[in-house]
Amino acid sequence: MLDYSMFDVARLGAWRGSNTTFEDICKECDATELAKAQYALEETKKRLEKANVKQEQIDNLKYEKELILDNVFNLIREDIAQSYYNIFRFFNTNELLWEAWKYSLFKEKGRLQEIEEAHEKEPNDCKSLEVFENSYNFVLRTIKDRLIPEKYRDESTLVELIDWCYSTAYEFTFKYKDIEFIICVPMFNNANDKNYLEMLSGYILRFKESEYCIGLAFNAINPNEFKIKLEEWLDERLKENQND
């Protein structure tokens, strides 16, 4: 609460040595209580004014933060997406990875004929099966060449390809002997306020800890660093399997 002692001191000082009546005391008490209430209201308004000033400062800082973050998103979508860190930087990444994903999905479900039929009906709007297959083969070859160490590359087979979280990334599940591992390839050009931190994590390696649990092994935005870490990780897993 506020400090009201100044009012009590003033009131007691006025009573000392004076010929005050009971009615005077009552009037003085009412006046003092009103002064206290006015004082409380004034102090409340002062604090509200301060709060409004702070809120304006917060709003300005928030606006500045949003501008900075928008710049960050643009840097990821444009500069990082066109940098060494993006293994598909010279291509239309969204289109290329989507074509590879669709080919993989339709192949798994035995529906490749639907792609060809759609192309025959609308050749100008629907791409041929050959285009989808070429994209799939190119993406798979690039993933292996840039992210999987050479000694494990040829025997690592693709098990599944998933579009992760509205093309935030694509997940490539590979199997080497009895070891399954998931390489998450970030779609830098799709960076936004929801996924930018994940984008900056770069390439992520996940693995099945159990039937219902996926673990995180490591991440690296530098493809070469990722490849080195993957080699170390696979080496270790193979040793563990031999000891079991």
Burial of residue 26 (number of CB atoms within 10 Å: 0-12, 13-18, 19+): exposed
Residues 133 and 236 in one domain: yes
* Co-location of 114 and 228 in the same domain: yes
Same structural domain for residues 220 and 113? yes
62-89 pLDDT, tens digit each: 999 999 999 999 999 999 999 999 999 9
Kindly state whether residues 98 and 55 are assigned to the same domain. Answer: no
- Is position 75 within any domain? no
Distance CA 216, CA 204 (A): 8
My answer on whether 102 and 45 are in the same domain is no
Residue 99: CB atoms within 10 A of its CB come to 21
Per-residue model confidence as pLDDT tens digits over 169-218? 999 999 999 999 999 999 999 999 999 999 999 999 999 888 789 999 99
Kindly state whether residue 41 falls inside one of the protein's structural domains.
yes
Quick one: tokens of 25? 């005391």
Domain count within the chain = 2
Q: Are residues 215 and 138 in the same domain?
A: yes
How many Å apart are CA 115 and CA 137, to the nearest integer? 16
Same domain, 120 and 163: yes
Please indicate, yes or no, whether residues 33 and 113 belong to a single structural domain of this protein: no
Rounded Cα distance between 50 and 74, Å, is 36
Residue 120 sits in the same domain as residue 162: yes
Whether residue 87 lies inside any domain: the answer is no
CB atoms within 10 A of CB 170: 22
Same domain, 100 and 35: no
Query: Which is more confidently placed, 94 or 30?
Result: 94
* Cβ-Cβ contacts under 8 Å for 179 (sequence gap 6 or more): 207, 234, 237, 238, 241
Report if pTM > 0.95. no
Tokens of residue 23, six digits: 């009615």
Last residue of a domain, one of 47, 63, 79: 63
pLDDT tops 90 at residue 5: no
Residues 119 and 224 in one domain: yes
* Full domain range(s) for residue 160: 93-243
Do 134 and 44 lie in one domain? The reply is no
What percent of the chain has pLDDT above 70?
A: 93
